[in-house]
Amino acid sequence: MENLQSMITKQWQVKVSGDLRPVDSGTKNVTCFHDENGRPFYLKRKRGAARIAQEELIYHALSKVGISASYPIETVEGRAFTVFEGNRYCLYRPVPGTVVNGFDEKMTFQIGRSLALLHKGLLEINDHELFHDMNIKKQLTEWAIPVVLAEFGNSGAASAKDLFEELQNNFLNRCDTLPHQLIHRDPNSSNMLYAEDKGISFIDFELATYGLRIFDICYFSTGMLMSDYSNTDFRLRWFHLLDVLVKGYRSETPLTQAELDAVFYVIVSIQIIFSAYFSKINKDMALLNFDSLFWIERHKAKIQQVVGT
């Protein structure tokens, strides 16, 4: 009976040496292995043909702006995937570089600039119907905000309601007028690789979606903050890093004043979404994100100052 190893050899002419090791312990959709010459490979189980079509569009768009991205190795039949036991599989070589680790000023500026280049490439993709529409307004009003109020209503209910009302009036009622395009949606540091000769590369476009252009910038900024949130000194340094990140982006692509005015509210929105998400699976993480939400609110003026509002 054919197994994954023999399927890999048959479809890609790659001989597996050793075992296939799961990379994502939860879903086990990604496994890594080495061939007989010691070269690393990644085998990914795909949810559907649409994901593979998305990857093809993204790969070709990013190559035009000089950003490296992983793309499936063709099978012996010249296809981007093969079907084995009812599942679609793609094979990849790793993108050169090491996972971004640490947030100094130079790296943060480079990440901001690279996010702008990423968006320039993704802007060329017009087949938006192939991708999920984020619709952050619907996500917040119909899911995240009600969940957060229900879960944490006894710890800051009045403050939360005031903040959510401000969010509605100053952001959600006008967010549809802000620039939208295809975005990465999950630009955390583990999805960025740095190589001295190639700069920043991006991986894992599984969540790529049509949404607010500034979402990726704000998402990365909240990731920085939460990476060492309990460290008071780092929280204070985060304001400077946010400033550097935005300047890095603007060194390649201008942001509208309306986008700069919305940065605070998008950061707040992201923390609300994380609070709601973790409320069902990890209460400690949910509470941490809920606490950071009000820390961010207390520093609204400082955030608006550093991003140029």
- In this structure, are 141 and 203 located in the same domain? yes
Spatial neighbors of 293 by CB under 8 A, at least 6 apart, are 163, 268, 271, 272, 275
Q: Is the pTM of this model over 0.85?
A: yes
- In this structure, are 73 and 204 located in the same domain? no
Measuring CA to CA, which residue among 256, 249, 253, 254 is closest to residue 113?
A: 249
Cβ atoms of 61 and 122 closer than 8 Å: yes
- Give the pLDDT mean for 28-49: 91
* Number of separate domains in the chain: 2
- In this structure, are 57 and 103 located in the same domain? no
Give backbone dihedrals phi and psi of 9, rounded to 5 degrees, phi first: -65, -45
**Nearest-angstrom CA–CA distance, 118 and 112:** 10
* Predicted local confidence at residue 56, as pLDDT: 87
- In this structure, are 130 and 209 located in the same domain? yes
Any idea what the CATH number is for the domain that residue 83 is in? 3.30.200.20
Q: Which domain holds residue 46?
A: 4-94
Sign, CA torsion 308/111/240/286: positive
- In this structure, are 228 and 263 located in the same domain? yes
* Predicted local confidence at residue 29, as pLDDT: 87
- In this structure, are 240 and 194 located in the same domain? yes
Judged against a pLDDT cut of 80, whether residue 309 lies above it is answered with no
How remote is the C-alpha of 87 from its chain's centroid? 25
Q: What's the count of helices (H) and strands (E) in the chain, helices before strands?
A: 11, 11
- Higher pLDDT residue, 28 or 14? 14
- Give the pLDDT mean for 220-226: 97
- In this structure, are 171 and 40 located in the same domain? no
- In this structure, are 69 and 191 located in the same domain? no
Judged against a pLDDT cut of 50, whether residue 78 lies above it is answered with yes
End-to-end, the C-alpha distance of the chain in Å comes to 64
Give backbone dihedrals phi and psi of 212, rounded to 5 degrees, phi first: -60, 135
Q: Which of 94, 122, 154 is the last residue of a domain?
A: 94
pLDDT digit string, tens, across residues 251-270: 999 999 999 999 999 999 99
Q: Which of 94, 120, 148 is the last residue of a domain?
A: 94
- Looking at residue 89, the DSSP 8-state letter turns out to be E
Judged against a pLDDT cut of 50, whether residue 212 lies above it is answered with yes
Cβ atoms of 200 and 192 closer than 8 Å: yes
**Ranked by mean pLDDT, which of 53-62, 107-116, 202-211 comes out on top?**
107-116
- In this structure, are 89 and 122 located in the same domain? no
Q: Enter the tokens of residue 197.
A: 């000769």
Strands in 132-133's sheet, in edge-to-edge order, are: 132-133, 209-212, 180-183
Q: Which of 65, 94, 123 is the last residue of a domain?
A: 94
**Nearest-angstrom CA–CA distance, 157 and 277:** 18
- In this structure, are 52 and 106 located in the same domain? no
pLDDT digit string, tens, across residues 267-288: 999 999 999 999 989 999 999 9
Any idea what the CATH number is for the domain that residue 113 is in? 3.90.1200.10
- In this structure, are 77 and 9 located in the same domain? yes
- In this structure, are 83 and 105 located in the same domain? no
How remote is the C-alpha of 164 from its chain's centroid? 24
Judged against a pLDDT cut of 50, whether residue 1 lies above it is answered with no
